[in-house]
Amino acid sequence: MSAVLDAGTAGAASAAIPTPHRSIATEAAPAVPAAPTVAIVLLGTGVVGGALLKLLNTPAAARVRLVGAANSRRQQTSAARLASRSLREQLNNQGDVRDNAALLAALDHSGAAARVIIDATASTALASQHAQWLARGYHVVTANKALAGGELAGWRALQAATANGGRYGDAATVGAGLPVLSTLRRLRLCGDSLLTLEGVFSGSLSWLFNQYDGKTPFSALLREARRLGYTEPDPRSDLSGDDVARKLLIIARNAGFALGSDEVVVEGLVPEVLRELDTGTFLERLQELDAPLAARHAEAASRGCVLRFLARLNQRGHARVGLVEVPGTHPAARLSGTDNQFALTTTRYNAQPLVIQGPGAGPEITAQALLGDVLALS
């Protein structure tokens, strides 16, 4: 990462990206490192944002310059402070008050050919600004699903904004960068179309049901998953199925199904009585999840099946998320760890689905997906 402002290119900011200058090494004029071509502002310095800050300090990010960083309370635009290895910690008690306009100004003054806002938050308020930023000539790279996987009007605004040349890097929103959205776009470019989609889109729910054998109580597994950092601090965020529904919406919309957020049927795992509790009380009452799930498991096992938390989209655009019995021969029955799985049946991948599978959560790979989208702009 470079956090040093380079002179000579100020005012050249534009959505168009020039071919990088290549210097030819001669005795008279030794090669000099090429100037950074991408200026970025990082919103969110939590688990994913923190991992991205580390990646920015590697040679892979040599052409990327960090000109601003923020958490929910503070921000920093000073080049010297942005270059600090303890930037993330410093933002907890040092820096300017939050003001997006100052961060955008830092991008404008960077002189870089491409100006990118990276959203590594889960903030709906920030996501609602993605389309405006794109319309103003910034590129947006995001791990935040709240716009593309939110209300249909937001998705439509996003489509309109990207039609003007702004690029929307969304690899990190689904499968933590597994090549799902890029593959889908490539297939569509070739005239192929998605017919059905099925899979396990949540690392935490994958792990829980890959482990669950009906003997260890589900609540004990859930506590373990939380301890390992596989779930959110409040595991209801995972168990509700809402995050899986957002990912299903993002894939379906990218495949041409203009689904509203209320068109995904979500069968969550949190009983009504546990939904409104504070986190601490919910965690004390986790064992209330055990009996219903044990009954579902026993029924499935009596038919030679296992339980998996699946997302499904059928050919008529019906979308559903929830717990499903699958036979041992089903691809999802053979998953392990926190793996995600996306099985795409298309016009041309028809006899057998195209299956994309692998780790679908984790800060390093998610940060890498963000960096990959940034580098694609240079």
Ligand X SMILES: NC(=O)c1ccc[n+]([C@@H]2O[C@H](COP(=O)([O-])OP(=O)(O)OC[C@H]3O[C@@H](n4cnc5c(N)ncnc54)[C@H](OP(=O)(O)O)[C@@H]3O)[C@@H](O)[C@H]2O)c1
Shortest Cβ distance from residue 236 to ligand X (Å)?
A: 15
Tokens of 72: 């929910």
Longest dimension (CA), the chain: 79
Report d(CA 198, CA 344) in Å as an integer.
7
Please identify, using beta-carbon distances, which residue of 63 and 226 lies nearer to ligand X: 226
The DSSP code for 2 is B
Q: Which of 54, 145, 215, 247 is flagged as catalytic?
A: 247
CA–chain centroid gap for 225, Å, is: 20
Shortest Cβ distance from residue 72 to ligand X (Å)?
A: 3
Shortest Cβ distance from residue 70 to ligand X (Å)?
A: 4
Shortest Cβ distance from residue 249 to ligand X (Å)?
A: 14
Q: CA geometry: angle at 307 spanning 304 and 308, to 5°?
A: 135
DSSP letters for 177-243: G-TTHHHHHHHHHTT--EEEEEEE--HHHHHHHHH--SSS-HHHHHHHHHHTT-S-SSTHHHHTSHH
Report d(CA 102, CA 90) in Å as an integer.
19
Shortest Cβ distance from residue 350 to ligand X (Å)?
A: 30
Phi–psi pair at 288, nearest 5 degrees: -70, -15
Shortest Cβ distance from residue 56 to ligand X (Å)?
A: 15
Q: Is 247 a catalytic residue?
A: yes
Q: Which residues contact 278 (CB under 8 A, 6 or more apart)?
A: none
Please identify, using beta-carbon distances, which residue of 37 and 204 lies nearer to ligand X: 204
Report d(CA 359, CA 368) in Å as an integer.
13
Binding site for ligand X (CB under 6 A): 43-49, 70-73, 120-123, 126, 143-144, 172, 176, 361-363, 366
Please identify, using beta-carbon distances, which residue of 110 and 121 lies nearer to ligand X: 121
Please identify, using beta-carbon distances, which residue of 76 and 144 lies nearer to ligand X: 144
Strands 339-346 and 319-327, by their bridges, are unpaired
Please identify, using beta-carbon distances, which residue of 63 and 145 lies nearer to ligand X: 145
Report d(CA 378, CA 364) in Å as an integer.
21
For residues 238 and 122, the answer to whether their CB atoms sit within 8 Å is: no
For residues 259 and 152, the answer to whether their CB atoms sit within 8 Å is: yes
Residue type for 193, please?
S
State which residue has the least CB distance to ligand X.
46
For the annotated catalytic residues, the residue numbers are: 247
